[in-house]
Amino acid sequence: MQFTVAYAALIVGVLLYVGAVRRGLARPAEQPSVRRFDVYDTAYLSGGPARVGQVAAVGLAISGWFTVDRRGEVAVVAPTAAEHPAEEAFLAKLQQHPDVRHALALTTRDPRVLAIGTELASDGYLVPSTRLRALALPAFAVAAVFAIGGVRLISLAESDSAAWWLFAELGLLVVLAGVLLLRPPRRTSAGDIALRELSWGWPRYYDPHADAPASDESRSQWITSVALLGPDALRGTDLHQRLFRTRRTRAEGARPAGNQLPVAINSPTGGGAE
Protein backbone atom coordinates (compact mmCIF):
# COMPACT_ATOMS: atom_id res chain seq x y z
CA MET A 1 0.00 0.00 0.00
CA GLN A 2 2.85 2.35 0.82
CA PHE A 3 4.38 1.76 -2.62
CA THR A 4 1.02 2.52 -4.26
CA VAL A 5 0.76 5.91 -2.60
CA ALA A 6 4.40 6.76 -3.15
CA TYR A 7 4.33 5.70 -6.80
CA ALA A 8 1.15 7.69 -7.44
CA ALA A 9 2.82 10.75 -5.94
CA LEU A 10 5.87 10.13 -8.14
CA ILE A 11 3.69 9.97 -11.24
CA VAL A 12 1.93 13.21 -10.32
CA GLY A 13 5.28 14.87 -9.71
CA VAL A 14 6.80 13.84 -13.03
CA LEU A 15 3.66 14.89 -14.93
CA LEU A 16 3.72 18.30 -13.23
CA TYR A 17 7.38 18.57 -14.23
CA VAL A 18 6.59 17.77 -17.86
CA GLY A 19 3.75 20.30 -17.83
CA ALA A 20 6.03 22.99 -16.39
CA VAL A 21 8.60 22.40 -19.14
CA ARG A 22 5.84 22.66 -21.78
CA ARG A 23 4.67 25.96 -20.31
CA GLY A 24 8.23 27.19 -20.41
CA LEU A 25 8.44 26.37 -24.10
CA ALA A 26 5.35 28.47 -24.75
CA ARG A 27 6.98 31.55 -23.20
CA PRO A 28 8.91 33.58 -25.79
CA ALA A 29 12.64 33.72 -25.10
CA GLU A 30 12.56 37.48 -25.76
CA GLN A 31 9.95 40.19 -26.15
CA PRO A 32 8.10 39.39 -29.42
CA SER A 33 8.82 41.72 -32.30
CA VAL A 34 6.03 43.92 -33.60
CA ARG A 35 4.79 42.30 -36.79
CA ARG A 36 2.10 43.07 -39.33
CA PHE A 37 0.56 39.69 -40.11
CA ASP A 38 -0.54 38.90 -43.63
CA VAL A 39 -2.84 36.03 -44.53
CA TYR A 40 0.08 33.61 -44.91
CA ASP A 41 1.45 34.47 -41.47
CA THR A 42 -2.04 33.83 -40.12
CA ALA A 43 -2.21 30.51 -41.96
CA TYR A 44 1.15 29.36 -40.59
CA LEU A 45 0.20 30.35 -37.05
CA SER A 46 -3.08 28.48 -37.33
CA GLY A 47 -2.16 25.36 -39.27
CA GLY A 48 1.52 25.31 -40.14
CA PRO A 49 3.01 24.88 -43.63
CA ALA A 50 0.12 22.73 -44.86
CA ARG A 51 -2.33 25.56 -44.20
CA VAL A 52 -0.10 28.00 -46.09
CA GLY A 53 -0.27 25.79 -49.18
CA GLN A 54 -4.05 25.54 -48.88
CA VAL A 55 -4.41 29.32 -48.68
CA ALA A 56 -2.16 29.76 -51.71
CA ALA A 57 -4.25 27.25 -53.68
CA VAL A 58 -7.52 28.94 -52.76
CA GLY A 59 -6.25 32.44 -53.51
CA LEU A 60 -4.80 31.50 -56.89
CA ALA A 61 -7.87 29.47 -57.80
CA ILE A 62 -10.25 32.29 -56.95
CA SER A 63 -8.15 34.62 -59.12
CA GLY A 64 -8.40 32.11 -61.97
CA TRP A 65 -4.68 31.42 -62.32
CA PHE A 66 -5.28 27.70 -62.81
CA THR A 67 -8.18 25.53 -63.85
CA VAL A 68 -9.23 21.94 -63.18
CA ASP A 69 -11.29 19.82 -65.54
CA ARG A 70 -13.89 17.29 -64.39
CA ARG A 71 -11.27 14.52 -64.18
CA GLY A 72 -9.00 16.53 -61.91
CA GLU A 73 -6.55 17.52 -64.65
CA VAL A 74 -4.92 20.88 -63.94
CA ALA A 75 -4.05 23.64 -66.38
CA VAL A 76 -1.93 26.56 -65.13
CA VAL A 77 -3.19 29.73 -66.80
CA ALA A 78 -0.69 32.26 -65.44
CA PRO A 79 2.53 30.60 -64.20
CA THR A 80 4.11 33.95 -63.20
CA ALA A 81 1.05 35.50 -61.57
CA ALA A 82 2.14 34.83 -57.98
CA GLU A 83 2.46 37.82 -55.67
CA HIS A 84 3.83 35.93 -52.64
CA PRO A 85 6.64 33.35 -52.28
CA ALA A 86 4.12 30.77 -51.04
CA GLU A 87 2.07 31.27 -54.21
CA GLU A 88 5.22 30.94 -56.31
CA ALA A 89 6.01 27.68 -54.53
CA PHE A 90 2.54 26.24 -55.10
CA LEU A 91 2.40 27.23 -58.78
CA ALA A 92 5.88 25.74 -59.33
CA LYS A 93 4.84 22.43 -57.79
CA LEU A 94 1.56 22.48 -59.71
CA GLN A 95 3.41 22.85 -63.02
CA GLN A 96 5.73 19.97 -62.14
CA HIS A 97 2.91 17.75 -60.83
CA PRO A 98 -0.51 18.74 -62.26
CA ASP A 99 -2.47 17.37 -59.33
CA VAL A 100 -3.67 19.73 -56.60
CA ARG A 101 -3.24 17.27 -53.72
CA HIS A 102 0.26 16.26 -54.80
CA ALA A 103 1.26 19.88 -55.31
CA LEU A 104 -0.06 20.79 -51.85
CA ALA A 105 1.95 18.00 -50.23
CA LEU A 106 5.14 19.18 -51.95
CA THR A 107 4.45 22.83 -51.11
CA THR A 108 4.53 22.11 -47.37
CA ARG A 109 8.22 21.19 -47.69
CA ASP A 110 9.22 24.10 -49.91
CA PRO A 111 11.87 26.41 -48.35
CA ARG A 112 9.84 29.48 -49.33
CA VAL A 113 6.95 28.23 -47.20
CA LEU A 114 9.10 27.03 -44.30
CA ALA A 115 10.78 30.45 -44.24
CA ILE A 116 7.49 31.92 -42.98
CA GLY A 117 7.68 29.70 -39.91
CA THR A 118 11.33 30.58 -39.37
CA GLU A 119 10.50 34.28 -39.36
CA LEU A 120 7.55 33.78 -37.00
CA ALA A 121 9.77 31.78 -34.64
CA SER A 122 12.53 34.41 -34.70
CA ASP A 123 9.94 37.09 -33.91
CA GLY A 124 8.71 35.11 -30.89
CA TYR A 125 5.37 33.77 -32.17
CA LEU A 126 6.30 30.12 -32.78
CA VAL A 127 8.36 27.73 -30.66
CA PRO A 128 11.73 27.21 -32.41
CA SER A 129 12.46 23.56 -33.15
CA THR A 130 15.77 23.87 -31.27
CA ARG A 131 13.90 24.63 -28.02
CA LEU A 132 11.98 21.34 -28.27
CA ARG A 133 15.17 19.62 -27.14
CA ALA A 134 14.19 20.79 -23.66
CA LEU A 135 11.66 17.94 -23.62
CA ALA A 136 14.45 15.34 -23.63
CA LEU A 137 15.01 15.48 -19.86
CA PRO A 138 11.27 15.19 -19.01
CA ALA A 139 11.04 12.24 -21.41
CA PHE A 140 13.92 10.56 -19.57
CA ALA A 141 12.19 11.20 -16.23
CA VAL A 142 8.97 9.61 -17.52
CA ALA A 143 10.93 6.59 -18.78
CA ALA A 144 12.63 6.20 -15.39
CA VAL A 145 9.32 6.32 -13.51
CA PHE A 146 7.84 3.82 -15.95
CA ALA A 147 10.82 1.51 -15.43
CA ILE A 148 10.33 1.62 -11.66
CA GLY A 149 6.70 0.61 -12.08
CA GLY A 150 7.64 -2.11 -14.52
CA VAL A 151 10.12 -3.68 -12.13
CA ARG A 152 7.54 -3.60 -9.36
CA LEU A 153 4.94 -5.14 -11.67
CA ILE A 154 7.26 -8.04 -12.50
CA SER A 155 7.94 -8.72 -8.85
CA LEU A 156 4.22 -8.75 -8.07
CA ALA A 157 3.54 -11.11 -10.97
CA GLU A 158 6.19 -13.55 -9.69
CA SER A 159 4.52 -13.58 -6.28
CA ASP A 160 1.04 -14.03 -7.78
CA SER A 161 -0.16 -10.79 -6.18
CA ALA A 162 -2.94 -8.71 -7.72
CA ALA A 163 -1.50 -5.66 -9.45
CA TRP A 164 -4.49 -4.04 -11.15
CA TRP A 165 -3.75 -0.75 -9.39
CA LEU A 166 -0.22 -0.71 -10.80
CA PHE A 167 -1.57 -1.42 -14.29
CA ALA A 168 -3.89 1.57 -13.86
CA GLU A 169 -1.09 3.86 -12.70
CA LEU A 170 1.21 2.80 -15.53
CA GLY A 171 -1.60 3.30 -18.04
CA LEU A 172 -2.28 6.78 -16.67
CA LEU A 173 1.41 7.64 -16.90
CA VAL A 174 1.71 6.46 -20.51
CA VAL A 175 -1.43 8.25 -21.71
CA LEU A 176 -0.85 11.60 -20.01
CA ALA A 177 2.89 11.71 -20.63
CA GLY A 178 2.32 10.72 -24.25
CA VAL A 179 -0.09 13.62 -24.75
CA LEU A 180 2.27 16.08 -23.10
CA LEU A 181 5.45 14.93 -24.84
CA LEU A 182 4.23 13.91 -28.28
CA ARG A 183 2.20 17.08 -28.85
CA PRO A 184 4.52 19.90 -27.82
CA PRO A 185 3.26 23.49 -28.21
CA ARG A 186 3.74 24.98 -31.69
CA ARG A 187 2.89 28.55 -30.79
CA THR A 188 4.25 30.66 -27.99
CA SER A 189 1.85 32.51 -25.72
CA ALA A 190 2.43 35.57 -27.91
CA GLY A 191 1.47 33.51 -30.95
CA ASP A 192 -1.75 32.38 -29.27
CA ILE A 193 -2.64 35.96 -28.44
CA ALA A 194 -1.87 37.13 -31.97
CA LEU A 195 -4.03 34.38 -33.49
CA ARG A 196 -6.95 35.25 -31.22
CA GLU A 197 -6.67 38.90 -32.20
CA LEU A 198 -6.54 37.98 -35.89
CA SER A 199 -9.74 35.98 -35.41
CA TRP A 200 -11.68 38.79 -33.74
CA GLY A 201 -14.44 40.31 -35.84
CA TRP A 202 -14.40 37.47 -38.38
CA PRO A 203 -16.45 36.68 -40.34
CA ARG A 204 -18.45 39.78 -41.12
CA TYR A 205 -20.14 37.94 -43.97
CA TYR A 206 -19.81 34.41 -45.24
CA ASP A 207 -22.19 32.31 -47.29
CA PRO A 208 -21.09 28.65 -47.15
CA HIS A 209 -23.59 27.76 -49.88
CA ALA A 210 -22.18 30.12 -52.49
CA ASP A 211 -20.21 28.56 -55.34
CA ALA A 212 -17.70 31.42 -55.53
CA PRO A 213 -17.06 34.76 -53.83
CA ALA A 214 -19.12 37.53 -55.37
CA SER A 215 -16.87 40.53 -54.63
CA ASP A 216 -13.31 41.46 -53.71
CA GLU A 217 -14.33 41.75 -50.05
CA SER A 218 -15.90 38.31 -49.95
CA ARG A 219 -12.89 36.87 -51.81
CA SER A 220 -10.67 38.17 -49.03
CA GLN A 221 -13.00 36.68 -46.43
CA TRP A 222 -12.99 33.28 -48.17
CA ILE A 223 -9.18 33.26 -48.13
CA THR A 224 -9.06 34.42 -44.51
CA SER A 225 -11.54 31.72 -43.53
CA VAL A 226 -9.23 29.06 -44.95
CA ALA A 227 -6.22 30.62 -43.19
CA LEU A 228 -8.00 30.47 -39.83
CA LEU A 229 -10.06 27.29 -40.13
CA GLY A 230 -8.63 25.28 -43.02
CA PRO A 231 -10.32 23.99 -46.20
CA ASP A 232 -13.39 22.79 -44.30
CA ALA A 233 -14.36 26.45 -43.87
CA LEU A 234 -15.47 26.25 -47.52
CA ARG A 235 -17.11 22.83 -47.27
CA GLY A 236 -20.13 22.55 -49.54
CA THR A 237 -18.86 25.07 -52.09
CA ASP A 238 -17.80 24.34 -55.67
CA LEU A 239 -14.36 25.69 -54.82
CA HIS A 240 -13.87 23.17 -52.00
CA GLN A 241 -15.07 20.30 -54.15
CA ARG A 242 -12.72 21.01 -57.05
CA LEU A 243 -9.64 21.84 -55.01
CA PHE A 244 -9.76 19.39 -52.15
CA ARG A 245 -12.19 16.62 -53.13
CA THR A 246 -11.55 15.97 -56.82
CA ARG A 247 -9.00 13.25 -57.48
CA ARG A 248 -6.99 13.26 -60.64
CA THR A 249 -8.08 10.31 -62.80
CA ARG A 250 -7.29 9.24 -66.33
CA ALA A 251 -9.98 7.02 -67.73
CA GLU A 252 -8.90 4.28 -70.10
CA GLY A 253 -9.25 5.42 -73.69
CA ALA A 254 -10.00 9.01 -72.66
CA ARG A 255 -8.71 11.92 -74.66
CA PRO A 256 -5.62 13.80 -73.45
CA ALA A 257 -6.22 16.52 -70.88
CA GLY A 258 -5.53 19.22 -73.46
CA ASN A 259 -8.62 18.15 -75.43
CA GLN A 260 -10.89 18.34 -72.40
CA LEU A 261 -12.86 21.48 -71.68
CA PRO A 262 -11.36 22.86 -68.43
CA VAL A 263 -13.58 24.13 -65.68
CA ALA A 264 -12.62 27.45 -64.10
CA ILE A 265 -12.28 27.02 -60.36
CA ASN A 266 -13.73 30.45 -59.69
CA SER A 267 -16.75 30.05 -61.95
CA PRO A 268 -19.86 30.89 -59.91
CA THR A 269 -21.87 28.25 -61.73
CA GLY A 270 -19.09 25.68 -62.14
CA GLY A 271 -19.41 26.07 -65.91
CA GLY A 272 -16.61 25.56 -68.39
CA ALA A 273 -14.07 28.18 -69.33
CA GLU A 274 -14.62 29.71 -72.66
pLDDT per residue of the chain (274 residues) written in tens, 0 to 9: 678 788 889 989 999 998 888 888 888 777 777 788 999 999 999 999 999 999 999 998 888 888 776 666 787 776 666 789 999 999 889 888 888 888 999 999 999 999 999 999 989 899 888 777 888 888 999 999 899 888 888 887 777 666 788 888 888 888 888 888 878 788 998 899 999 888 886 554 444 455 555 555 567 888 888 999 999 888 888 778 888 876 665 544 444 434 333 334 433 333 333 3
Is there a single domain that holds both residue 137 and residue 153?
yes
Does residue 120 lie within any of the structural domains?
yes
Q: Single out the residue of 26, 97, 104, 106 nearest to residue 60, CA to CA.
A: 104
Per-residue pLDDT at 253: 41
Residue 201 maps to a domain: yes
Comparing CA positions, the residue from 216, 201, 185 lying closest to residue 121 is 185
Q: 53 and 119: one domain?
A: yes
Q: Is residue 269 part of a domain?
A: no
Residue 78 lies in a domain: yes
Supply the pTM of this predicted model. Answer: 0.72
Residues 6+ apart with CB under 8 A from 53: 86, 89, 90, 103, 104, 107, 108, 113
Q: Please check whether residues 79 and 50 belong to one and the same domain.
A: yes
Whether residue 133 is found in the same domain as residue 173: yes
**In a shared domain, residues 80 and 178:** no
State whether 115 and 175 are in the same domain.
Answer: no
pLDDT of residue 81: 63
pLDDT of residue 255: 40
Say whether both 63 and 96 belong to one domain.
Answer: yes
274, part of any domain:
no
Residue 61 pLDDT: 87
Q: State whether 140 and 91 are in the same domain.
A: no
182, 199, 221 — which closes off a domain?
182
Q: Domain check: are 44 and 104 in the same one? A: yes
103 and 51 inside one domain: yes
Domain containing 106: what range?
A: 39-127+188-247+255-263
Number of structural domains (the chain) is 2
Exposure string for 238-272, b = 16+ CB within 10 A, e = fewer: bbbbbbbebebeeeeeeeebeeeebbbbbbeebee
In a shared domain, residues 208 and 106: yes
Residue 268 domain flag: no
In terms of domains, do 118 and 140 share one? no
